[in-house]
Amino acid sequence: MVENVKPIASTWCPGCGDFGTLASVKKAALELGIPNHELVLVGGIGCSGGIHNFLDMNGLHALHGRLLAQAVGVKLANPKLTVIAAGGDGDGYAIGMGHFMHAFKKNASILYLVMNNETYGLTKGQASPTSQLGFEGNVENPFDAMLTALSIPVPNYLARTFSGDPKHMTQVLVEALQFNRENKGFAFVEDLSPCVTYNDTFKEWRAKVQDLAKLPGYDPTDRAKTFQMCLDTIAQGKIPIGVMHRPKEASAEAAALELKLLPDRIGPAAVDIDLGSNRAAYEKLLRAVA
């Protein structure tokens, strides 16, 4: 059930990177002039997934790793809504991995915002799919969601940002939400958002982030080139951030799931179900099945 309740005071630890995300989501929504009642935030399970509790907008606390399925459902029920699915690296890239991959293929016009802190914050700092080798005894190589996203040839919007740079994050979120609101398809934004209690990477990440837009030859319409730039940046010990993909062609109509399934752009939430005005259609239906 989607509900609109008054936001509560944040329960995050002081200094958590997710505060930057919260502020940027608010700023982006204000900048785009999206009314609160037209915004829905579907939260995952984890510290990050509680973000909708701290915002004055419609919120839904999804099942662990299932937020994308629920967010697509909200969008299809009422395509006029601006829908954000938001959660952590554990939620999205571990238990939610199947849904994550299929979200690119589905290409519904929703924003998936992952607050990546390279740990399971809520459950007290275990290794997650993005954890570095050696973190809490981790023996697996970290998963890079941006490289994976870049390898899926769908005209969607991709960006990585950093909680330590709220201006950059707000710019990225404004662009991503605008992309959704023009029904151009799926937007995936990964926010590097340190967990100051179990994996405080603020200092390290501040020194390592490299905005690809500042490098010569940057062209976010060229997937192969951006993929290579990411690999080169990683090889230099840096972390690539910035807009990773911005489709050249605004293939809006063809790309968006809601337009394929709902050609008239009216979801079930807005369908006229008044018995009086629909009586003739109802009686026709009854005769057909009699």
Ligand X SMILES: Cc1ncc(C[n+]2csc(CCOP(=O)(O)OP(=O)(O)O)c2C)c(N)n1
Question: Which residues of this chain interact with Mg ion, rule CB under 5 A?
Answer: 88-90, 117, 121
Residues in binding contact with ligand X, number by CB under 6 A? 20
| 2 is an interface residue for ligand SF4 by CB under 6 A | no
> Are the beta carbons of 129 and 142 closer than 8 angstroms?
yes
Q: Could you give phi then psi for residue 245, rounded to 5 degrees?
A: -150, 130
To ligand SF4, the closest distance from the beta carbon of 90 in angstroms equals: 10
Identify any residues that bridge with 41 across adjacent strands, giving them in sequence order.
59, 84
Residues 6+ apart with CB under 8 A from 273: none
- Report what 45 binds from Mg ion, ligand SF4, ligand X, none; CB cut-off 5-8 Å by kind: ligand X
| 21 is an interface residue for ligand X by CB under 6 A | no
- Report what 201 binds from ligand X, Mg ion, ligand SF4, none; CB cut-off 5-8 Å by kind: none
Which of 13, 147, 174, 270 lies at the binding interface for ligand SF4 (CB under 6 A)?
A: 13
Residue number with CB closer to ligand SF4 (164 or 185) = 164
> Are the beta carbons of 86 and 42 closer than 8 angstroms?
yes
Measured N-to-C along each axis, helices 166-181 and 18-32 cross at an angle, to the nearest 10 degrees, of 50
Joined together, the tokens standing for residue 46 give 């984890």
| 195 is an interface residue for ligand SF4 by CB under 6 A | yes
Residue number with CB closer to Mg ion (38 or 200) = 200
| Positions in 193-232 near ligand X (CB under 6 A) | 195
| 117 is an interface residue for ligand SF4 by CB under 6 A | yes
**Binding window for ligand SF4 (CB under 6 A); candidates: 96-104, 115-123, 145-153, 262-270:** 115-123
- Report what 161 binds from ligand X, Mg ion, ligand SF4, none; CB cut-off 5-8 Å by kind: none
**Binding window for ligand SF4 (CB under 6 A); candidates: 12-20, 201-209, 210-218, 276-284:** 12-20
Joined together, the tokens standing for residue 81 give 């809504």
**Binding window for ligand SF4 (CB under 6 A); candidates: 168-176, 181-189, 196-204, 269-277:** 196-204
Which of 25, 29, 45, 60 lies at the binding interface for ligand X (CB under 6 A)?
A: 45
**Binding window for ligand SF4 (CB under 6 A); candidates: 58-66, 68-76, 117-125, 182-190:** 117-125
